[in-house]
Amino acid sequence: MWNFKLPTEIIFGNGVSANLEEIASGFGSRKMLVTDKVLAELPAIQKIVAGLKNVSVFSDVQPNPTVVNVDSLAARLRDEKIEVVIAVGGGSSIDCAKAAACLVMTDEKSIRAFHTEGKKFGLSHLPVIAAPTTAGTGSEVTPFAVLDDVEKNKKGPIASDSFYPVKAVVDPELTYSVPVKVTAMTGLDALSHAIEGYWSKNHQPICDILAMEAAKKILSNLGNVLDNPSDKKGRNELSYASLTAGMAFQMPKNAIMHACSFPLSNRFHMPHGSACAFTMEETIRLNAPFMSGRMEVFADYCGFENIEGMIQTIRNLKKKGGLPSTIQEAGIPREQIDILIEESFHPLMNNNPKEVTKEDLENIYRELGA
């Protein structure tokens, strides 16, 4: 038995972000556009803002969105009686918008009650329209928001069905100017979503198909885009792959790669995509023998003769994108490895096909240079 759902309507294509005013107006007249400070200054985003009527802009979103960012946005939404939220940016902006759009419908003043203290959301939320500017997070079609509580030293996801955006407006043109390193990080983040959606204990047939399709597109196109950032066809394919990977993991959920990523980001400020990619090769080697040949099928579908060929391609993509592949390159002191291992046992680890032990993680970090 299995089930699948995706309540988000997807609008995909070059130039579709030009229709945001028409799309948003169907949900209300008072709008808030959520983005970050860097994007807010770009002509493409300013053009979107100029095309919206009765809109305010919130740009105080950090690269790893914090509890404070969400609380500040929720306060603005309340004060200005906003009716519809438009998130334009990477996963940080979209996650911040999703969380605030739910918080504003509660009596709580801070998202901390739900993120750190375990309170559950109901189904009430302001409508969120998500327009991603990177090909990586898939946040436009997932019920998750990854937040950083700096004060409590906790980074991790909140999950709620109320987090699904009502519309995903995926315009590949918004990704054309993304720098090479960010393209690599986000592309490998999407690959981690595809792989973990496929090997999660909760995997199911529709998500398996989506995962394999996403991974094939990423592994076929990311290297070309890193070599030639103006490759519009390749970037279109990566936007499609990121969306598809988001659909692939949104129900099965993540596993070991994401569990290990949280302390890497918390302690060593590694960007999320880079943190997910950091253990990718070794976690594939760890899990493949426990998947009854399914990982061999995955590699074959992606065009590789064997799993090691796929692993080598992933390693080359990290190198080409300037991402760390060893603890030395990541600047992680050897004496911190035990702490990393201890803090990697996030609940997502329970979705892994192999039951992960401390010894498994010790072996992974040993292979990574510890």
The pLDDT score that the predictor gives to residue 334 is 94
* Inter-residue contact 301 to 216 (CB < 8 Å): yes
Write the DSSP assignment of 82-139 as a string of letters: --EEEEEESHHHHHHHHHHHHHTTSS-S-THHHHTS-PPP-S----EEEEESSSS--G
pLDDT beyond 90 at 311: yes
As a dihedral over the C-alpha atoms of residue 92, residue 182, residue 282, residue 206, rounded to 10 degrees, the angle is: 60
pTM comes to: 0.96
pLDDT at 331: 95
Domains of the chain with bracketed CATH: 9-174 (3.40.50.1970), 180-367 (1.20.1090.10)
Read off the pLDDT of residues 73-83 as tens digits, 9 standing for 90 and up: 999 999 999 99
Please give the Cα distance from 282 to 167 (Å, whole number): 36
The predicted model gives 172-184 an average pLDDT of: 97
Radius of gyration of the chain (CA): 19
pLDDT at 194 over 90: yes
Q: Residue 178: is its pLDDT beyond 90?
A: yes
Note the pLDDT tens digit of each residue in 257-280.
999 999 999 899 899 999 999 999
Segment 246-262 mean pLDDT? 97
Q: Is the dihedral of CA 197, 119, 85, 265 positive or negative?
A: negative
Q: Residue 116: its pLDDT value, please?
A: 84
Read off the pLDDT of residues 127-141 as tens digits, 9 standing for 90 and up. 999 999 999 999 999
Residue 151 pLDDT grade (very low, low, confident, very high; cuts 50, 70, 90): confident
Question: How open is the CA angle 86-84-21, to the nearest 5 degrees?
Answer: 60
Question: Over the chain, what is the mean pLDDT?
Answer: 96
pLDDT digits (tens, 9 = 90+) for 279-292: 999 999 999 999 99
CB atoms within 10 A of CB 223: 18
Is residue 29 within 8 Å of residue 83, measured between CB atoms? Answer: yes
Distances in whole angstroms, Cα of residue 214 to Cα of each of 173, 179, 194, 195: 19, 21, 6, 9
pLDDT tens for 41-51 read 999 999 999 99
**Tell me, what's the pLDDT at 257?**
98
Confidence class for position 63, pLDDT limits 50, 70, 90: confident
For a pLDDT cut of 70, what percent of the chain falls above it? 100
